[in-house]
Amino acid sequence: MGSVLFSETMGTALLVLLGCGVGANVGLATTKGYGGGWLLINFGWGLAVFAGVYAAAYSGGHLNPAVTAGIWIAGTEFAPGIAATPWHALVYVAGQLLGAMLGAVLVYLAYKKHFDAEEDHSGTLGVFATGPALRTPNWNVVTEAIGTFVLVYVVLVFGNTPTGLGPLAVALLVVGIGASLGGPTGYAINPARDLGPRIVYALLPMGRRQGADWSYSWIPVVGPLIGGAVAGLLFHVTPVVA
């Protein structure tokens, strides 16, 4: 399980480094990618998933507590030879949260001078954590649950297809979720991806930064866990391709 912890930590760190990194590149006014737009963010996060899943191949590349929960409820192994047990699930989630925090620190270091140069820090939280376009908590949870359901259900079905599409297919799936369902909440679809960087943002020596919006922080945790759980339950009645 030490190898699983390392695998999930490294994979999630790369996921957040590249994913929040594209947010910094698009959102900070002094970067060369400033104003790159929503599709650049979508593709950046998709390729971040691609890199992270490959890096975490040993542990099955969950990178996401909602994926871990969905696989657990679906009744399949977390990875070949790694049973879905409560203890193993805790190790996975610990690695994911640790990796997300590490990735957020690396984003800050890579863009430190650009954070320092920001005159208006009202948008810097958005580099690290998600926020709603319209703050309607119950509906924000619904949006996150739906997006995460799509992610986890399709990932579970991938595992039972003869093609074995792998990380590239998951990356394209994340691009599609962002393009189609990301507008209302910024599509966290991953509790660790949002909570870990949000904690780091709250601790960063950024001086003029605004708060970490803790009143919203439960939504990118609860919504994805609901979506992952529903996907795991529905997978039990999903026909399997022979």
User: What is the spatial distance between Cα 210 and Cα 192, in angstroms, rounded to a whole number?
Assistant: 21
Q: Is residue 241 part of a domain?
A: no
**10 Å Cβ neighbour count for 70?**
30
Domain limits for position 204 = 2-235
Record the pTM: 0.94
User: What is the spatial distance between Cα 85 and Cα 132, in angstroms, rounded to a whole number?
Assistant: 34
115-144 average pLDDT score: 93
Q: Is residue 240 part of a domain?
A: no
80 versus 195: the higher-pLDDT residue is: 195
User: What is the spatial distance between Cα 88 and Cα 70, in angstroms, rounded to a whole number?
Assistant: 14
pLDDT digits (tens, 9 = 90+) for 84-104: 999 999 999 999 999 999 999
Q: Running DSSP on this structure, what letter comes out for residue 239? A: P
User: What is the spatial distance between Cα 128 and Cα 104, in angstroms, rounded to a whole number?
Assistant: 7
Predicted pLDDT of residue 119: 83
171-188 average pLDDT score: 96
pLDDT at residue 12 greater than cutoff 50: yes
157 versus 63: the higher-pLDDT residue is: 63
Q: Is residue 242 part of a domain?
A: no
Structurally, the chain folds into a number of domains equal to 1
Average pLDDT, the chain: 93
Percent of the chain, pLDDT > 70? 95
CATH number of the domain that residue 28 is part of: 1.20.1080.10
CA distances from 118 to 6, 33, 48, 92 (A): 34, 15, 25, 36
